[in-house]
Amino acid sequence: MVDKAKFIWLDGKFIPWDQAQVHILTHTLHYGLGVFEGVRAYQCANGRTAIFRLPEHTRRLFDSAHILQMEIPFSEDDINQACIEALRQNDQKEAYLRPLIFIGDGAMGLHPQNNPIRVAVITWVWGAYLGDEGLLSGIRLKTSSFTRHHVNVMMTSAKGVGNYVNSILAKREVTKAGYDEALLLDTAGYVAEASGENIFMVKNGIIKTPPSTSILPGITRDCVIVIAKDLGIPIQEARFSRDDLYIADEAFLSGTAAEITPVRELDDRRIGTGKPGPITKKIQETYFDAVHGKKPRYDSWLTYV
């Protein structure tokens, strides 16, 4: 259950949480065409609150909307300022932020015609997405029977609302079987990503992650790539199979919600020692230092409120 904040920014105005309602004929509710972002704000070591990589998230929001032919009636700066002001209005030192672009009510049928493009920014307090214990000790993955989208089936570079039906089906499937998260393969059978996170494996001191051709190009994924290079750890974007992952020395997931979550097991096979490995822990430690403003090298990733 999400704890209510005081206000939600909707179409340019802050309104009380319980009044942020839409009509039952809202087009996106029926047909799934919309885009969104997930952003986190952290309280930094200096006591101030900073939104992590806000401009990059907003840029991807606009890119996603462009791919899906949705004209956002606000500028990127408007959205950035709405995110900052939402935290102030809600007196939140740490929060998850959800910018959402959706098609309002009007015409029905697949073509939304001139229905309004509506915009919201919602903030709520959200802890570790895959659990505090998962961050500390690692999680159990299971390969889903559902396949990740092909690039000509869904627009995989867009963070589209409807794309996540695939993720929901996979997540439900594996959690019902007792696992923490789903691993999805691409249409060629190679590892793609988890239901809501990108994936990395470590073998012989080299980090590998699937190429961004058929997955959402994660912003946290980009952080991992930058951090690894800064730490002098070799990193490659390359295809690998799930049996490659079975015999990896380490594995971990990345995402705004999941942050850096180690993987201790896949398909009932222990990954490495079954505990977070040294490279995973170093990446995780550096990432958390960065989001909390403890690494001046990454201060450009922080937008202070």
Q: Could you tell me if 102 and 32 lie in one domain?
A: yes
| Bridge partner list, 147 | 185
Give residue 167's pLDDT.
97
Q: Which of 107, 124, 141 is the last residue of a domain?
A: 124
Q: Which pLDDT band, with edges at 50, 70 and 90, does 130 fall under?
A: confident
Average the pLDDT over 29-55 and give the result: 97
Q: Which of 4, 6, 142, 159 is catalytic?
A: 159
Q: Which residues contact 23 (CB under 8 A, 6 or more apart)?
A: 104, 105
By CB neighbour count within 10 A (0-12 exposed, 13-18 middle, 19+ buried), where does 104 fall?
Answer: middle
Per-residue pLDDT tens over the stretch 103-126: 999 999 999 999 999 999 999 999
What is the C-alpha to C-alpha distance for residues 114 and 131, in angstroms, rounded to an integer? Answer: 42
Average the pLDDT over 225-248 and give the result: 97
Assess whether pLDDT exceeds 90 at residue 214. Answer: no
Q: Give the start-end residues of each E strand in 134-190.
A: 139-147, 181-185
Find out whether 58 and 37 touch, Cβ atoms under 8 Å.
yes
In a domain, 189, yes or no: yes
The percent of residues in the chain predicted with pLDDT above 90, rounded, is 93
Assess whether pLDDT exceeds 90 at residue 129. Answer: no
Q: Which pLDDT band, with edges at 50, 70 and 90, does 15 fall under?
A: very high
Average the pLDDT over 24-50 and give the result: 97
Give residue 131's pLDDT.
87
Q: Could you tell me if 118 and 143 lie in one domain?
A: no
| Bridge partner list, 283 | none
Instruction: Examine the residue annotation and report whether 159 is marked as an active-site residue of this protein.
Output: yes
Find out whether 124 and 96 touch, Cβ atoms under 8 Å.
yes
Average the pLDDT over 79-84 and give the result: 98
**Domain harbouring 177, CATH code:** 3.20.10.10
Give residue 82's pLDDT.
98
Give residue 160's pLDDT.
96
In a domain, 106, yes or no: yes
Q: Which of 166, 158, 195 is nearest to 180 (CA)?
A: 195
Q: Could you tell me if 101 and 150 lie in one domain?
A: no
Per-residue pLDDT tens over the stretch 176-191: 999 999 999 999 999 9
Q: Which pLDDT band, with edges at 50, 70 and 90, does 2 fall under?
A: confident
Per-residue pLDDT tens over the stretch 283-305: 999 999 999 999 999 999 999 99
Q: Could you tell me if 20 and 88 lie in one domain?
A: yes
In a domain, 302, yes or no: no
Average pLDDT of the chain is 96
The percent of residues in the chain predicted with pLDDT above 70, rounded, is 100
Q: What is the pTM of this model?
A: 0.95
Q: Could you tell me if 268 and 145 lie in one domain?
A: yes
**Amino acid identity, position 286:** T
What is the C-alpha to C-alpha distance for residues 110 and 180, in angstroms, rounded to an integer? Answer: 35
Q: Total domain count for the chain?
A: 2
The alpha carbon dihedral of 127, 164, 276, 235 has a sign of negative
In a domain, 90, yes or no: yes
Q: Which of 96, 124, 152 is the last residue of a domain?
A: 124
The alpha carbon dihedral of 257, 134, 143, 236 has a sign of positive
Question: Which range of residues forms the domain containing residue 205?
Answer: 132-291
Residue 210 structure tokens:
């699937």
- DSSP 8-class letter at 116: P
